[in-house]
Amino acid sequence: MKEQKSTDVRMEGRVCIVTGADSGVGFETSLQLAGNGAHLVMVCCSRMLGEQAKTKIQAAAKGPVDLILADLSSMDEVRKLARTLLDRYPKIHVLINNAGLYNTRRIVTVDGFEAVFAVNYLAVFLLTHLLLDRIKESAPSRILNVSSKGHQFGGLDLNDLNWKKRKYRGLKGYGASKTAAIMFTRELGHRLKGTGVTVVAAHPGEVRSNIGLNNGIVYRTFRKLVIDRMLQPTSHAGAAMYYLAASPDVESRSGRYFNMTHLEKPFPRALDRSVARTLWLVSEQLTGLVAPSTPA
């Protein structure tokens, strides 16, 4: 593994929101932010896990730590979360879209979306849009979309985003969501030029996160006995994500994809801007940001 970059920049007075902050990469990133003085806003799905994580983080924090509960598989919950954030925080300096999901079988959300695509991409798209004006007003500010090398598995099909026509494959479903997130990041980077807002996507490294542990015992056993033995502690990812959230060196890299702290070119399927623009339009309709188009 390459030697990773670091920064001594502190975050006092900076309001930083982290989704999926109760475990894994989100927890370690939150720990880094809070320890460097940020006003940390943890977004978690479980009250119990969120409170446990908050207690641990507060012990090392050099700034305020808040906890907000939201189920990001529901677009109504994402909207409610956005309203709460806008009501409570006059400034939003950093938004880290970290919450993630991996399923070995197709599961449908309350909105009728394939769950992995809903959590890993649609929630990111919607929450970012709903907070974007506030983030612009708070510039210089930053959006970090935690992605994955898993985008190499592909699976994105604009004609079958919810996997109704194809047999669902866990790696393909995950790859589709992460490809979409990188496309969104790249397109948003183009659209935010001159605003003082930097947006990047990042693979957090090969680390032992809790993603996928919601699946059955066969997957969990394979994960524990085989996969986890090849992975690094999540603290490595937390340090890398802090660098991307805080370092001035990242400001000129808007729209780019990082492998931890190093720039990397995504797989070609994530680089097609015409597909990214179409995905953007479809996503606006799916999340209710614009009314669905109707045939003439």
Active site residue 89: no
| Radius of gyration of the chain from its Cα atoms, rounded to whole angstroms | 18
CA distances from 95 to 53, 104, 159, 200, 240 (A): 19, 28, 30, 11, 15
- Evaluate whether 202 touches 256 at the Cβ level (below 8 Å): no
Pick the catalytic residue from 174, 219, 242, 243.
Answer: 174
Q: How far apart are CA 32 and CA 65, in angstroms?
A: 12
Q: How many CB atoms lie within 10 A of CB 94?
A: 25
- Evaluate whether 156 touches 201 at the Cβ level (below 8 Å): no
How far does CA 127 lie from the centroid of its chain?
10
77-82 contacts: CB < 8 A, separation 24 or more?
78/123, 78/126, 78/127, 78/130, 79/126, 79/130, 81/43, 81/127, 82/126, 82/127, 82/130, 82/131
Q: How far apart are CA 200 and CA 252, in angstroms?
A: 10
Paired sense of beta strands 262-263 and 257-259, if any:
antiparallel
DSSP-based three-state secondary structure for 293: coil
Q: How far apart are CA 7 and CA 62, in angstroms?
A: 17
Residues with a catalytic annotation lie at 174
